[in-house]
Structure 1
């Protein structure tokens, strides 16, 4: 996601804060998506127009075309491959010098061969379907070429982690004795492989929501969210960090990118946090953890809410309601930790005269209209594709009320280009996810995998959850949010639903949470690295700080897996009230334990007691709630007594000396 010149100016006003050049350098080092070919002049305009045309074609294909899925999906993948080779070079890194306006001959050959393999399937679709498993030698060769070149696209755009996993799955398929012909037929020519459910979801829903996000961004909604957050929390203790938490939750909800949101809002909030007195690695971590959490924030959840409703087979409104409490606990945890850190460091907020006024913000609430209409349409039963397209049209309409962000032909093309560009990495990851899912279906590996996990777990849900968590974090490394969820839902969720009989919503939420936290979990913590570049802090220290701030994301999924009442499943209104109250009190205790501060500083025994109190109250249950409340009340009483004693000594000191 590109940033405007005003953002760069904001960064450059602070000498101890990174410039956009620093961000670009570190992201080119760690983030595949940030490493693109340099284009300028006429060629750049041609590519921009081509990307915009691709976005419009996807709108047409979803709104008007009635083609068979075995035509739509390979056509989509072929076009994605062409654009990947146009935009992404073979080598990454800030020190790799790319020649401007030039594509190497070998990349042209790979692009034509890879896209041509999928286009061949489109053109000869009926004949190939009639062949069934008796595909000829030419079709086998084209299938091999298509899969290998898609894998190269994945290496360039998302990196090695998911590619290595997919390669292991394919090797397993060969190990079962399956012939090359059978493997290629299943992985390339059927809707259980590359052009399977992940690509189907991507070409039908994800692309349109990414385009919607790009148009929403042009309305200036990010600035609106940041102003709202400043108005709400800017003057509070440690205000800039709290502004970061609120604004990132709101912006990340619709951006669909933890990294992009970290750079967008972080360019404003991180300098403010450092100026207030927060250490650089903590400031970068707050922004990274908050931006990552934006992906779990209903009602949009980076478009994952819509996908989850489709994958689980429940109404969209159900997913939104179930996601509210876990997301609220996540951000409450970060908010409280920055509050306790500010109290411990004696940090202040932003002077009120420097903050935006409510009367200036309220007139801009019309910017929320596209979001509200989108959610209402889906709840009312409109298709997600149609809802996204109509909401995109509303973005154009509301932009007309603001001269600064008014939609012009140039901005229209730019938004389409951005949406198409941001879709490429998601599409490639979904294609590779299709290979994994295809091998699982073809070999029966899913049942073997489930049996293996259940066997290792010996029927213990906690062990199965832990092993699934590790799988999710590994598979989620460097993968965009929406593709991340599709991968987790097709590979990891069945372990819990089939193997451990976990509620499908609980299982999907669990794998979604742990796929997302891969963005802040070392060693591939892309959002944290982006935050560290702006904060001019150590990337690994920033990543570890972000992981600690996101403690709720590592605790809450286990809690709702053991007790679905946290997701308002099989519970009553009274139980819901009790769960909400005790859960938030639990986050107070947990945050104080992590930061070592409640009313005053906590020593190690008190921190251990606070940790125990927090975990007890986070787990829904009368006995655990009672234990947690007693521990927390005891801590507060002792802390208050200690604080009073310190105040008495401080006030008595002058008279003693006199």
Structure 2
């Protein structure tokens, strides 16, 4: 991103902050309507967009893209080396102005767009020109500000619609005319495309949660999480690594972004890990493995979780409840891996001078109140955007309780700007994902890919899950988490539900499985956004860093499958079923992480590592056996090894 200065930087800060504030105003519609009614009962008719709350869907989606797309061309250079790095070029200004035209046209003509019959009413030359302009500028914005791989995927889908009738076998499609392709990608707001439901989710619910995260950061909640992580884990073996894991999990409640987590927490934890003896690539791997889990951590999970709530029609409160134990298990697996690695290498805790006192932690403890309020409102089935609105307002109010956390006007402005800066690239990436989904649906590729995966699986649910997981991980090579999840869910979830029907697999289980692997893909090689960011801080190779990230997070892959086979971790069933499912995973993860670390209570040889690994895999995946048998095998293997190693250690001391 460019480092702009002077009046232009101030103008962009004010622009992004203003429109982020407008999104917060929209979310608080019911409150503002009530407050205004106390002053004048009919005042809502004089308000912008004809009342309080969010505008009509097409108006809202086009406005969202209208205000957030043009700044991307001013903030992000076209080329890393050849383009000006401190100011936009003339061509950047042209791109910015042209990119606004199609969204402005839709915004002005929103009523006509909403009323037109898709694929029936004429697609005029003006619409064609605007649609092509939108596709070109959106692809360039995605290439610059998000990920070139996603831009290529969107372009590839459009090309496939144009040439699919020439492709053989299951890839063959009907002939699509140029107007049909552009209409499907651009102007079908009820089903997909640029102004489809996915853009609607980002413009409403996700935008307000981004605001909440920005205000958490601005109030000093990040300092609270950082100090809490150091106070809890810093005194133990391999302290900085454990601080990284705990802190990244806490930061995940704010950002839901793996790269953001790496940049925020890694700047502190990676140098500390290197200082106590971790190799730079290992330190970066630990940080990136921990950071990707932020999108799994309730109450503010990644954008994909809100998409899940929309496309499944499952309340977001139910999703965060179902995700809670799985997120904790993921971080438990990384903590166990880090602990065994540190013990094997004989690493030291953090220096005492770097560990904050508990009074320092408690000085910011009041900042958890808005998080608790958000969780409570969500469990009370408030809409996500209205709950996040009140949590954001509460964050500002609670920050005033202590001088060290008090948010002045500058901190509030910075928080709005930070939120707008996050919303802008997300807006175009989700619009691009909408184009992909629209193309896959129109061409029938959703059904074709699902059929290919189902045929390859041969009726085996386990093999099908492996194939879907691999599909998501491959998609993660070139596109961000949310588009990856959207595309994989469209392809894989229907088949998972079909083959999982005998086991009672339901919609939420299938989507949680897909979502979990879409998140983890951010840390798996060869292209891993989180690992690449951590490698830059650690001054290590990005590929080897991503390999270490996978190594530390790989035991957590078992949790994804547990959503299907052990639904107790989704808080389903009685207390016994939930406890049994959770305990099986804890034992399995401990065995697997100790096996590949080569350490439990003492270093282990190859044979013992293989035995413990086999026992762990059986506990995690041996679903043909009763749960009691899986747990017993795991606990016996773990207990016997710990007992023998403990006795050997005492004998050596004696």
**TM bracket (short chain):** 0.7 to 0.9
Q: State the partner residue of 2:465.
A: 465
Q: State the partner residue of 1:60.
A: 25
CA distance in 1, matches of 2:145, 2:490: 21
Q: Is the 8 A contact 1:599 1:636 kept in 2?
A: yes
Q: State the partner residue of 2:238.
A: 238
Classify 1:327/1:236 alpha carbon distance in 2 versus 1 (closer, same or farther; 3 Å): same
Once structures 1 and 2 are overlaid, which stretch shifts more, 395-404 or 541-550?
395-404
Output the TM-score relative to the length of structure 2: 0.88
Q: State the partner residue of 1:507.
A: 510
1:160 maps onto 2:148 in alignment: yes
> Any idea what the Cα deviations from partners look like across 1:470-519, whole Å, max 9, x if unmatched?
32223334655555545554454344335655421122111212111222
CA distance in 1, matches of 2:206, 2:617: 36
Q: State the partner residue of 1:48.
A: 13
Q: Is the 8 A contact 2:481 2:521 kept in 1?
A: no
Classify 1:111/1:350 alpha carbon distance in 2 versus 1 (closer, same or farther; 3 Å): closer
1:632 maps onto 2:606 in alignment: no
CA distance in 1, matches of 2:383, 2:61: 19
Once structures 1 and 2 are overlaid, which stretch shifts more, 161-170 or 600-609?
161-170
Query: Offset at 1:216?
Result: 0.8
SS at 1:166 equivalent: helix
Q: State the partner residue of 1:542.
A: 545
CA distance in 2, matches of 1:624, 1:511: 25
CA distance in 2, matches of 1:90, 1:318: 42
Q: Give the unaligned 5+ runs of structure 1.
A: 1-35, 649-658
Q: State the partner residue of 1:12.
A: none
Query: Offset at 1:131?
Result: 6.4
Q: Is the 8 A contact 1:514 1:553 kept in 2?
A: no
> Any idea what the Cα deviations from partners look like across 1:223-276, whole Å, max 9, x if unmatched?
111211222121112222111111111012221221111121112222222222
Q: Is the 8 A contact 2:430 2:482 kept in 1?
A: no
Q: State the partner residue of 1:148.
A: 136
Q: State the partner residue of 1:130.
A: 116
Q: State the partner residue of 1:558.
A: 561
Selected match of 1:586 from 579, 585, 588? 588
Q: State the partner residue of 1:72.
A: 60
User: How is 1:131-530 mapped onto 2 (pairs within 5 angstroms)?
Assistant: 132-133=118-119, 134-174=122-162, 175=164, 176=173, 177-191=175-189, 192=191, 193-302=193-302, 304-352=304-352, 354-477=354-477, 479-481=479-481, 485-490=485-490, 492-497=492-497, 501=501, 502-530=505-533
- Number of equivalenced pairs: 609
Classify 1:632/1:271 alpha carbon distance in 2 versus 1 (closer, same or farther; 3 Å): same
Classify 1:68/1:320 alpha carbon distance in 2 versus 1 (closer, same or farther; 3 Å): closer
Q: State the partner residue of 1:22.
A: none
Classify 1:431/1:645 alpha carbon distance in 2 versus 1 (closer, same or farther; 3 Å): same
> Any idea what the Cα deviations from partners look like across 1:508-550, whole Å, max 9, x if unmatched?
1112121112221112222222222222323222211111100
Once structures 1 and 2 are overlaid, which stretch shifts more, 252-261 or 296-305?
296-305
Output the TM-score relative to the length of structure 1: 0.87
Query: Offset at 1:155?
Result: 1.0
Q: CA RMSD in A?
A: 2.3
SS at 1:301 equivalent: coil
> Any idea what the Cα deviations from partners look like across 1:539-564, whole Å, max 9, x if unmatched?
22221111110013322212332343
SS at 1:50 equivalent: helix
Query: Offset at 1:99?
Result: 4.9
Query: Offset at 1:132?
Result: 4.2
Q: State the partner residue of 1:100.
A: 86
Q: Is the 8 A contact 1:425 1:480 kept in 2?
A: no
Q: Give the unaligned 5+ runs of structure 2.
A: 30-51, 165-172
Classify 1:131/1:313 alpha carbon distance in 2 versus 1 (closer, same or farther; 3 Å): closer
> Any idea what the Cα deviations from partners look like across 1:149-205, whole Å, max 9, x if unmatched?
111111111222222333333233232301111222222111121111210110011
Classify 1:227/1:592 alpha carbon distance in 2 versus 1 (closer, same or farther; 3 Å): same
Once structures 1 and 2 are overlaid, which stretch shifts more, 186-195 or 42-51?
186-195
1:646 maps onto 2:652 in alignment: yes
Classify 1:565/1:354 alpha carbon distance in 2 versus 1 (closer, same or farther; 3 Å): closer
Query: Offset at 1:140?
Result: 1.4
> Any idea what the Cα deviations from partners look like across 1:412-462, whole Å, max 9, x if unmatched?
221111100111121111001101111233233322222221112111122
Q: State the partner residue of 1:84.
A: 72
Classify 1:625/1:426 alpha carbon distance in 2 versus 1 (closer, same or farther; 3 Å): same
Once structures 1 and 2 are overlaid, which stretch shifts more, 270-279 or 632-641?
632-641
Query: Offset at 1:364?
Result: 2.0
Q: Is the 8 A contact 2:206 2:306 kept in 1?
A: no
> Any idea what the Cα deviations from partners look like across 1:312-357, whole Å, max 9, x if unmatched?
3233333223212221221111111111112112122135465322
Q: State the partner residue of 1:29.
A: none
Q: Is the 8 A contact 1:298 1:305 kept in 2?
A: no
CA distance in 2, matches of 1:636, 1:460: 37
Once structures 1 and 2 are overlaid, which stretch shifts more, 165-174 or 413-422?
165-174
Q: State the partner residue of 1:612.
A: 614
SS at 2:155 equivalent: helix
Q: Is the 8 A contact 2:185 2:438 kept in 1?
A: yes
CA distance in 2, matches of 1:344, 1:297: 29
Q: State the partner residue of 2:95.
A: 110
> Any idea what the Cα deviations from partners look like across 1:3-45, whole Å, max 9, x if unmatched?
xxxxxxxxxxxxxxxxxxxxxxxxxxxxxxxxx2231011111
SS at 2:576 equivalent: helix
Classify 1:115/1:487 alpha carbon distance in 2 versus 1 (closer, same or farther; 3 Å): farther
Q: Is the 8 A contact 1:225 1:251 kept in 2?
A: yes
Classify 1:237/1:383 alpha carbon distance in 2 versus 1 (closer, same or farther; 3 Å): same
Q: Is the 8 A contact 1:252 1:294 kept in 2?
A: yes
CA distance in 1, matches of 2:12, 2:399: 25
Q: State the partner residue of 2:49.
A: none
Q: Is the 8 A contact 2:209 2:300 kept in 1?
A: no
SS at 1:518 equivalent: helix
Once structures 1 and 2 are overlaid, which stretch shifts more, 45-54 or 348-357?
348-357
> Any idea what the Cα deviations from partners look like across 1:387-410, whole Å, max 9, x if unmatched?
212211122222223434432222
Q: Is the 8 A contact 1:81 1:115 kept in 2?
A: yes
